Chain A
Amino acid sequence: MDTMMQALALVLNFETIVTILIACLFGLFVGAIPGLTATMATALLVPFTFYMDPIPAIATVIACTAMAITAGDIPSALLRIPGTPSSAAYTDEAYAMTKKGQGAQALGISIVASCIGGIVGFLVLAFIAPMLAKVALRFSSFEYFWLAILGLSCAALISSGGPIKGLLALFLGLAISTIGMDPLTGAPRFSFGSVELMGGLSFVPAMIGLFAIGELLRYQPGQENLVSNAKIRNPFSGVGKILRQYRVNLWRGSLFGTAVGALPGAGGDLGAWISYAMAKRFSRTPQKFGTGHPEGLVEAGASNNSALSSAWIPAMVFGIPGDAVTAIAVGILFMKGLNPGPQLFTQNPENFYAVMLIFLIANLLLIPFGWLAVRTANSIFRVSRAYLNGAIVIFCLVGAYAVNNSMFGVLVMGGFGLMAYVFHRANFPIAPVILGIVMGPLLEQNFLTSMIIARGDLTAFFSRPIAAGLGAVVILLWGLPLVLRLLRLLRPKAAA
């Protein structure tokens, strides 16, 4: 109890609270602008943290990322331009709601589901972080391989154009991810002597191109009617009823996101995709998915933010960061003398609990700040779409350039924008492409590592208990529909 009071004193003071509020506003701004990412927001904050006390320094990162990830849902729902790979999982759904005039509700759902998911992640982090981290440590390349396959399967199975088109789009994404150096031996592939290509195509410019530029190319002046439909009043009206209706999805998404988020390297991106697919598979009305149905939004939105909290588990317990944001955060922790490791829990528990409290506060702040952001976003519909598109292009250019500070990113963005346009025309889904690009390296690396360890013996993917379990789930996922269909074909014969 004493440590809790000390932790409260560390957090509930003027400096920390003001820092959190400023970081929230900053995260909100960066997240809501298409083309600027949460990672970029965090990296920009680092220089400021040097002048702060340890707790406010960490608070800026936590508050900023929680806010930026959630704010990324705003352009995703209103303009069909997702801010992160994970919000790409449910962009089409949210946009379909906006088209039906329920944009406010879509945003309200993602904000409240994010908040609840984030708080579940916080509770897990606060109470069973060391235990969960121990489990995460038992995951080797064999288990990661199956997880990657599971995520990719989900993307293919749920995509809008049906599984065949989804699979093709996914394979294209995977093929694109093989451009660059072989992850283990360093042999250049498809680089044609260019150093830029040798480094591979990074996903941020590809994502901006596929979604933002593709959407802009698709825009025709006749589409103005969206404006009147999308009038946003109170984003939270009716949300409580929807969340009660889909409470199973809410808890499943939160818990699943937390579990996946705790695995270093796989985390949040996979979580939202698998959660959305689970929502569809277990839904009583799967045919409504893709037409502006809130069920998937609830589950994926919750999963998204809970994974964000639990990604800190391996980072804080074992110093193994899962993504760019936690890598930066681990750097700040070290710099401030809060070295990650089990001693963070035992030697300075008040610091640990202070960090936990910040998670809680940041997630609670999502509600008022989200409301503010949605109200502000309302005014973008009063701006002529022509001006709006112009501004989006500028931010996209900045975002694509800033990834590696090179014009190559801008070219990549342009190329993917054109590709997205062709895809729209041919009714192919684009979201699986981006997942393929993000997950490709994870899949390839873990496959190769496993094969090296097992000396090419494929049965090794079933030789470890967790891997075998995950493998069985994947086989069921693909095999069950086939078996069921086969049974249905056989049954009339058997009866006759």
Chain B
Amino acid sequence: MKAITLIATATLGLFAVSASAQDYPDRPITLIVPWGAGGGSDATARIVATLLEEKLGQPINVVNRAGGGSVIGHTEIANAKPDGYTLGNITTELSMFHWLGQSPVSYQDYTPIGLFNADFGGIFVAQNSPYESLQDLVDALREDASAIPAGGANQGGVNHLAYAALVAEAGGSQAFWVPSEGAAPALQLLTSGAIQAAIVQFPEARALMDAGEIRPLATLNNEREPSYPDVPTVAEASDVNVSISGWRGLAGPKDMPQEVVDSLSAALEEIVASDEYKEFMASRQFTIAFEGGDAFGTYLAERDTQFGDALKAAGLVAE
């Protein structure tokens, strides 16, 4: 009986809010995730969508538009009608598309609503790898980077960029990057011995770390992760230094009505501060970050410059 009552109250609750709410939103909202189901972006977008659904009283349909290194999904968000009924989870890659010549879309094509997460990746190898420490890997890269296939999401993504930066810092030749659609296939390649190193986010690698299948060599954060105090930073573990973070935020197409942006931004701020969100993020070891509205716009502009500089240093910028 308890379950039925719960379901009934939940349904009634949703209807009651929508009936009494003001104009926006008066119908379901679509939230586009430019990455496949099951990855980190998908997970964070789904928790935000769920909590937002409660706040707004309208169903939010999470739609995964994966592929093309997230260009497809990002383009679709930018091209949507700016009425507040199509929103999107924009991710780190947006700071890079135009530098890499993959797509002309940049942060200027969106209405920023709020940043909700910023994560640092780590450098991982298989348990039986000959690289005992990051220094071993750096030495090998210095010798011949083209003999070491590495992976972790798409060509030109933040993980690729971090790896290219590591190779460049080590003074190695061209980095040998094997692109894949997200972290899960890259980890599969790592554990099956098809690639030698992987750059992925810690939450994505955790289950395999616990299982003793892979080892972290270093974190790309500039300080040690509180959840992984034993994992050294790149500077501590080797004679080079690299630190680059990814980010995730909520945005809509350009020129959304200001009052819609304000109400969404306010709702997102409450969500990010809520216990449910904190609990979820802690359970998956995502790092919470928040910048709302215009501040998120400034954050995006800064990221754009930072990634542009890093990409140029790594020799990845399209002419």
Contact = CB atoms under 8 A, between A and B. Distances in A.
Given A181-B72, A335-B280, A452-B179, A327 B67 contact: no
Contacts of A48: 6-7, 10
B195 interface: yes
A50 interface: yes
Interface stretch (B36-44, B130-138, B243-251): B36-44
Contacts of B71: 181, 186
A432 interface: no
Contacts of B2: 14-15
Nearest to A326: B38
B50 interface: yes
A134 B207 CA distance: 13
B283 A337 contact: yes
Interface string A105-142: 00000000000000000000000000000100111111
Of listed B4, B36, B67, residue having the most chain A CB within 10 A:
B67
B3 A339 contact: no
Given A186-B67, A321-B38, A330-B38, A22 B4 contact: yes
A47 B53 contact: yes
A19 interface: yes
A195 B188 contact: no
Interface stretch (B117-125, B208-216, B299-307, B310-318): B208-216
Given A186-B102, A318-B211, 7 more contacts: A137-B191, A186-B103, A195-B75, A198-B75, A317-B211, A339-B207, A453-B178
B155 interface: yes
Given A318-B211, A327-B37, A140 B7 contact: no
A318 B37 CA distance: 16
B257 interface: no
Nearest to A404: B63
Interface string A321-358: 10010111011001101011111000000000000000
A137 B280 CA distance: 27
Interface string B226-253: 0000000000000000000000000000
Of listed A142, A445, A449, residue having the most chain B CB within 10 A:
A449
Interface residues of B, number: 61
B169 interface: no
A184 B1 CA distance: 50
Given A199-B72, A453-B194, A52 B178 contact: no
A142 B4 CA distance: 48
A50 B194 contact: no
Given A18-B4, A56-B3, A319-B206, A405 B76 contact: no
Contact of A340 (B65, B79, B179, B207): B207
Interface of B: 1-4, 6-7, 9-10, 30, 36-38, 42-43, 46-47, 50, 53, 59, 61-65, 67-69, 71-72, 75-76, 79, 102-103, 149, 154-155, 178-181, 184-185, 187-189, 191-195, 204, 206-208, 210-211, 213, 280, 283-284
Contact of B50 (A46, A134, A188, A404): A46
Nearest to B51: A50
A181 B103 CA distance: 12
B184 A339 contact: no
Contacts of A195: 72, 75-76, 79
Of listed A18, A19, A47, A48, residue having the most chain B CB within 10 A:
A47
Contacts of A198: 68, 72, 75
Nearest to A199: B72
B69 A186 contact: yes
A246 to B, nearest CB: 35
A51 interface: yes
A18 B149 CA distance: 51
Contacts of B179: 184-185, 449, 452
A57 to B, nearest CB: 10
Contacts of A19: 3
Contacts of A453: 149, 178, 189, 194-195
A334 B42 CA distance: 13
A320 B200 CA distance: 13
A415 interface: no
A330 B213 CA distance: 20
A331 B9 CA distance: 23
28 contacts: A14-B1, A15-B2, A18-B1, A52-B3, A137-B192, A138-B192, A139-B188, A140-B189, A141-B189, A185-B69, A186-B71, A186-B155, A198-B68, A199-B65, A199-B67, A200-B67, A318-B208, A324-B37, A330-B43, A331-B46, A337-B283, A339-B283, A341-B206, A342-B211, A449-B179, A449-B180, A453-B149, A453-B195
